[in-house]
Amino acid sequence: MLRRKIFERFFSSENVVCTRIATTCSTPIPAPSFSILFILGGISIVLQLFTKFFQSGLVLLLFMGTEAIAQGMRSIDGCSIRRGTLCSDANLYGADLQNANLANSQFTRSVLSGANLTEANLNEANLSGAQLRGAKLNQASLVKTNARGARFNDAQLVGANMRAAILHNADLSGADMTESVLTSADLTNARLSGAKLDSANLMGANMRAANLRGASLVSANLQGVNFTGADLTDADLSEAILDNAIFNLAKTSGCKGCP
């Protein structure tokens, strides 16, 4: 007598499961081992991390490129025109650097003669020993700039802000510094013969032993300026504010407005 039977058999040798409904057998797909799953999971994580790093790096590069373009970054004679640039001994003669942001930059002994630095930012830059003869620095900012021994002969510094600048031994002969700001600046031993400082603010500046022969300081603010040992021969201090100014051992022959 035939009976309808439903049964399962497990053949361990062949790993075969048979379900008997009439006569049907199927061989199941072996389940992947734990080690394979672990490896695949690790690869997936690595790929995800790589993708994220790649995307972030690409974004960073794009940002840096965009920022460089926005700042108008360029190079002159191998010198990158940007904030904090290192351009010692560079030749930037006659370069157009108008409105450039060069704060905290190094231009030690560099040649900037004839350069256009109108409204440039040179705050806390190092210009020691630099050549700036005939350079245009009108409305430029040189706050706390180190220009020790720099040459500004016949330079244009109209309205420039040189507050607390170090101009020790600097040559500013014939320079036009009308309405410039030199408060608390160090001009010890500086050469300013024939310089124009009309309406300039030099309050508290140190001008010990400075050469101001023939210089014009008409209507300048000279409050508290130290002119000890300075040469003011033929200088013009007409209408200048001289409160608390010191003229010990100063040469004042032919000086207009000197006490």
Cα separation, 224 vs 242, in Å, equals 7
Mean pLDDT over each residue of the chain, to the nearest integer: 85
Lowest average pLDDT, out of 14-18, 82-86, 234-238, 243-247, goes to: 14-18
Q: How large is the C-alpha radius of gyration of the chain?
A: 39
pTM: 0.73
Q: In which band, very low, low, confident or very high, does the pLDDT at 50 lie, cut at 50, 70 and 90?
A: low
In this predicted structure, the answer to whether residue 7 has a pLDDT above a threshold of 50 is no
Burial state string for 175-213 with b = 16 or more CB within 10 A and e = fewer than 16: bbbbbbbbbbbbbbbbbbbbbbbbbbbbbbbbbbbbbbb
The answer to whether the beta carbons of residues 198 and 218 sit under 8 Å apart is: yes
Runs of H (alpha helix) within the chain:
34-70
pLDDT at position 1 is: 46
Domain 80-181 has CATH 3.40.50.300: no
Residues 212-232 have pLDDT tens digits of: 999 999 999 999 999 999 999
The answer to whether the beta carbons of residues 145 and 170 sit under 8 Å apart is: no
DSSP letter string, 191-220: B-TT-B-TT-B-TT-B-TT-B-TT-B-TT-
